[in-house]
Structure 1
Amino acid sequence: MSELILVTGGAGFIGRFVTSELLARGHRVRVLDSLIDQVHGHVDGSKLLDPEAELIRADVRDGDAVARALDGVDSVIHLAAEVGVGQSMYEVERYTSTNDVGTAVLFEKLIDHPVRRVVTASSMSIYGEGLYRDADGELVQDAQRHGLKDGLTDWEPVDAHGRPLEPVATPEWKRPNLSSIYALNKYVQERTTHIMAAPYGMESVCLRLFNVYGPGQALSNPYTGVLAIFASRLLNGQQPMIFEDGEQRRDFVHVTDVARAFAESLFLPQAAGGTYNIGSGHHRSVTEVATELARAMGKNDIAPQVVGKARIGDIRHCFCDTTLAAERFDFRARQDFGDGLSELAEWVAVQTAPDRVEQMRAELEARGLVA
């Protein structure tokens, strides 16, 4: 059955793919997006979206605009958020206002305009460090790292006895360890979604997204996904900047798989009420990813710059246990990573993107957020 679906933040990188996926499935889509310059640049927002989508340009904290956007809507995908661990540590009011207050405004308006289901975008950042196994084979949910400082040669978490820990795939049952304002914001969005939906007759789903990549990312936003940041550096003939020693491991999932996860979790009955990891189920080191991207972009002569410093709020290893989403609504990532990088490289090759990574590093260092 066709529905009218509101996608907040629908003009963003993930939102545009979600919108296209929903339209392709025969639904109508209304987008609410403030089109901030850091994400979108100085562009006509209507040109970002599929022409079949309806765009309302407004802030998610504007209650009157949210009420108008909800008129006649059957379900909601809530993506609107400020994104970025590092920036959240000094633009605290901006992040908390947009992410947490914005979500509160949305649900306050949903009291008078209830919908069938709300699916909210969360983040793997809420885990902090991922799950580990110690030398005795016991699982460790609250791994801690050495005090971060210049010149550190061992970045790995250890157990209480100083023994190394082995990173393993992180499942949804791992306790949150909120190590940044952004992580705290996303956890509040999750809990607000589940707390507010049921009393007003709505269903809720939250998707914890791992490292999403693909064409269309904001290349000039130095607080966006790591692959977009690396691509911007390489496009401008600069070395990708890698913090720590580059051996930290992440799970990269293609944006088309993420869009499919949102579309399927919005409708399948068995997904209701759940919080799910959305990742590829594979992990790679950050150095490996930077090297592979350089190769895909024909920039083999540009090696990554490993700076040997850490950003406050960053974690060492976190990658996705995909079991629950596969069991509950049969979600499995399909996109091959190599093919996805090639597609990203082709798109980047025809873009123009000012490189603002050094500016980002300077802003963090000036606030004491780089160890």
Structure 2
Amino acid sequence: MNILITGGAGFIGSNLALGLIKKNYNVTVFDNLSKQIHGDNPYQSPLFLSIRDKVNFIEGDITNRTHLAAALKDQDVIIHYAAETGTGQSMYEIEKYCNVNINGTAILLDLITNNKNFKVKKIIVASSRSIYGEGKYRNINGEILYPDSRKEENLAIGDFNVKCPNTKTNAELMPTDENSRIHPSSIYGITKQNQEQMVLTVGKALNIPAIAFRYQNVYGPGQSLSNPYTGILSIFSTLIKNGKDINVFEDGKESRDFVFIDDVVNATILGVEDKELRWNSYNVGSGIATDVLTVANSLKRLYNSDVAVNVTGNYRLGDIRHNFADLTLIKKDLGFQPAFNFEKGIMLFVNWVNKQEVQVSRLEESLVEMKLKGLYK
């Protein structure tokens, strides 16, 4: 079977490509080798080198119809990863995110729909936990809530908790399932929602099975150590390696669901190989919430570093407080079970980072940019 991965030279895509190759699939990778991900010399980036000579590589842009048409020839399965990523950056590079993520997906689907020479049998799209916004909560009466974005007036006085809309008391966090309200709080989240809906809608119209995987915070060996817009494990690791203190936003108790890259690859391959499912969306995560302060202190300990971990009270508009996945559906339908807990995964990640060249931290530069836009306080 021939499988095309758009954005397949990125962190998740390259790992998935290698996983599919091990199962004897013919893999084509279509990627523009973005400087933000691959650096100034993309053909020497570790991610590209990991797949070079192992896949059929086509360099091209997802918004270029000619490039994409050439890549689609003779493909059985399309795994659509090509996208701009990063919630913070999306809030001021709005046109770029919408053009790449939404328009790029539209071009892909338009080609599949209108070219009868393409015989695509399945489409998988990378969705995101960001489409849920603040996710699922309940009040003291046990009633389910899907709160809107936190109010800046509360954030400004250091009250970072999610509130019940009527009583203004703190809401209780719950795992977010696939039937939860979709209400993204960033442009990135909006574009991922659009990607998911477009793929599932067109897939159903064409009778092509389609699956959207709502990935949580994916981490592991191979992720970019220089991109300041995605991956706090990478951002914190690069700060530590440069001997710089870690400044944790809010009160450090904000949490995410960190899912190890091997689990993401496994879940996605289960979706590729499934013969029954049609037009479904699934959470892919660890099912456990880990707070940011725990992440920072764990990395400091594992690197045996003496940098300071400072809780700053600063915050970014558009950031969510919490979100972790309910995995009930993907376990039932695909038999997915995470194999890596956070302790095991972070150890493997740290061991890999220790073997890498130290990258220049660009976090301060990105924060200055966000502050100038009024998005970082």
Shared fold by TM > 0.5?
yes
Specify the code of the residue in structure 2 equivalent to 1:122.
S
Q: What is the DSSP-based 3-state SS (H/G/I as helix, E as strand, rest coil) of the residue aligned with 1:318?
A: coil
Tell me which of 184, 187, 193 is aligned to 1:181. Answer: 187
Query: Which of 223, 226, 230 does residue 220 from structure 1 map onto?
Result: 226
SS at match of 2:204: helix
Question: Which consecutive residues of structure 2, in runs of 5 or more, have no partner in the other structure?
Answer: none
Shift of 1:149: 6.3
Q: Structure 1 unaligned runs (5+)?
A: none
Q: Which residue of 1 aligns with 2:158?
A: 153
Deviations 1:143-173 (A, max 9, x none): 5523256752221011111111110101011
Amino acid at match of 2:18: S
Native 8 Å contact 1:152 1:308 kept in 2: no
Partner of 1:75: 77
Comparing 189-198 with 337-346, greater Cα deviation is found at 337-346
CA shift, 1:339, in A, is 1.9
CA distance in 2 between counterparts of 1:103 and 1:305 reads 40
Aligned to 2:10: 12
Note if 1:325 corresponds to 2:330. Answer: yes
Please, which moves more after superposition, 331-340 or 64-73? 331-340
Q: Give the length in aligned residue pairs.
A: 368
Question: What is the match of residue 217 of structure 2?
Answer: 211
1:61: which partner in 2? 63
1:292 aligned partner: 298
Aligned partner of 1:259 in structure 2 is 265
1:83 and 1:143 mapped to 2: Cα distance?
Answer: 22
Structure 2 partner of 1:28: 26
The equivalent of 2:206 in structure 1 is 200
Identity %: 37
Question: 1:213-241 deviations in whole A, cap 9, x for unaligned?
Answer: 00111111101111111111111111223
User: Which whole-Å CA distance do the structure 1 matches of 2:265 and 2:186 have between them?
Assistant: 26
Change (3 A) 1:148 1:256: farther
1:186-225 CA-partner distances (Å, limit 9, x unpaired): 0000011011112223111000000100011111110111
TM-score normalized by the length of structure 2: 0.94
Say whether 1:249 aligns with 2:248.
no
TM-score (normalised: structure 1): 0.96
Correspondence 1:100 to 2:102: yes
Aligned to 2:43: 44
The residue identity in structure 1 corresponding to 2:75 is V
CA contact (8 A) 2:209 2:277 kept: no
Q: Give how far 1:259 is off.
A: 0.9
Amino acid paired to 1:246: G
Q: Per-residue deviation at 1:97?
A: 0.6
**Structure 1 letter corresponding to 2:43:** D
Task: Return 137-146 or 103-112, whichever deviates more.
Answer: 137-146
Of residues 276, 281, 292 in structure 2, which corresponds to 1:270?
Answer: 276
Question: Tell me, what secondary structure is at the counterpart of 2:329?
Answer: helix
Aligned AA for 1:9? G
Cα RMSD of the aligned pairs, angstroms, is: 1.4
Q: Per-residue displacement from partner, 1:261-286 (whole Å, max 9, x unpaired)?
A: 11111121233311000000111111
Does the Cα contact within 8 Å between 1:32 and 1:57 map onto a contact in 2? yes
Contact residue 114 and residue 202 of structure 1 kept, 8 A: no
